[in-house]
Amino acid sequence: MLDDFFVRALVAGIGLAVVTGPVGCFIVWRRLAYFGETIAHSSLLGVAVAILSDVNLTLGIFFTATVVVFIVFLLERREGLPTDTILGLLAHGGLALGLVLLSFFPGVRIDLHALLFGDILAVSRHDLLVIWVGGAIVLGLLCCLWTPLLLATISNDLSTVESRKPLMSKLLFGVLVAAVIAVAVKIVGVLLIVALLIIPAATARRFANIPETMAIGAALVGVVSVAGGLFASLQFDTPSGPSIVVAALICFVLARIPIVFLKGTKQTTQT
The pLDDT score that the predictor gives to residue 263 is 55
C-alpha to C-alpha distance for 63 and 152, rounded to whole angstroms? 26
**What is the pLDDT confidence band of residue 267, given thresholds at 50, 70 and 90?**
low
Flag whether 257 is in a domain: no
The pLDDT score that the predictor gives to residue 201 is 95
Range of the structural domain that residue 27 is part of: 5-190
Flag whether 235 is in a domain: no
For residue 59, count other CB atoms closer than 10 A to its CB. 14
- For residue 84, what are the contacts with CB-CB under 8 A and spacing of at least 6? 34
For the chain, the distance separating the N- and C-terminal CA atoms, rounded to the nearest angstrom, is 56
Least Cα distance to 203 among 243, 250, 241, 240 occurs for 250
C-alpha to C-alpha distance for 21 and 5, rounded to whole angstroms? 24
The pLDDT score that the predictor gives to residue 53 is 84
For residue 240, count other CB atoms closer than 10 A to its CB. 23
The pLDDT score that the predictor gives to residue 41 is 86
The pLDDT score that the predictor gives to residue 250 is 94
Provide the mean pLDDT of the chain: 85
Phi, psi of 178 (to 5 degrees): -60, -40
The pLDDT score that the predictor gives to residue 25 is 94
Flag whether 245 is in a domain: no
**What is the pLDDT confidence band of residue 229, given thresholds at 50, 70 and 90?**
very high
**What confidence tens digit (pLDDT) does each residue in 129-179 have?**
989 999 999 999 999 988 888 888 777 665 555 555 677 888 889 999 999
Q: Count of domains in the chain?
A: 1
User: Which CATH number fits the domain that encloses residue 165?
Assistant: 1.10.3470.10
Give the Cα-Cα-Cα angle 150, 153, 156 (nearest 5 degrees): 110
C-alpha to C-alpha distance for 190 and 134, rounded to whole angstroms? 18
Three-state DSSP string of 194-206: HHHHHHHHHHHHC
Least Cα distance to 131 among 169, 175, 186, 84 occurs for 186
Flag whether 12 is in a domain: yes
Flag whether 196 is in a domain: no
Flag whether 263 is in a domain: no
Can you give the pTM of this predicted structure? 0.87
Longest CA span, the chain:
70
Flag whether 181 is in a domain: yes
What DSSP character marks residue 190?
T
The answer, yes or no, to whether residue 67 has pLDDT greater than 80, is yes
**What is the pLDDT confidence band of residue 222, given thresholds at 50, 70 and 90?**
very high
The pLDDT score that the predictor gives to residue 164 is 58
96 to 32, 100, 262: CA distances (angstroms): 22, 6, 46
What is the enclosing helix (H) or strand (E) of 87?
helix 83-102
Residues 248, 196 contacting (CB under 8 angstroms)? yes
Flag whether 23 is in a domain: yes
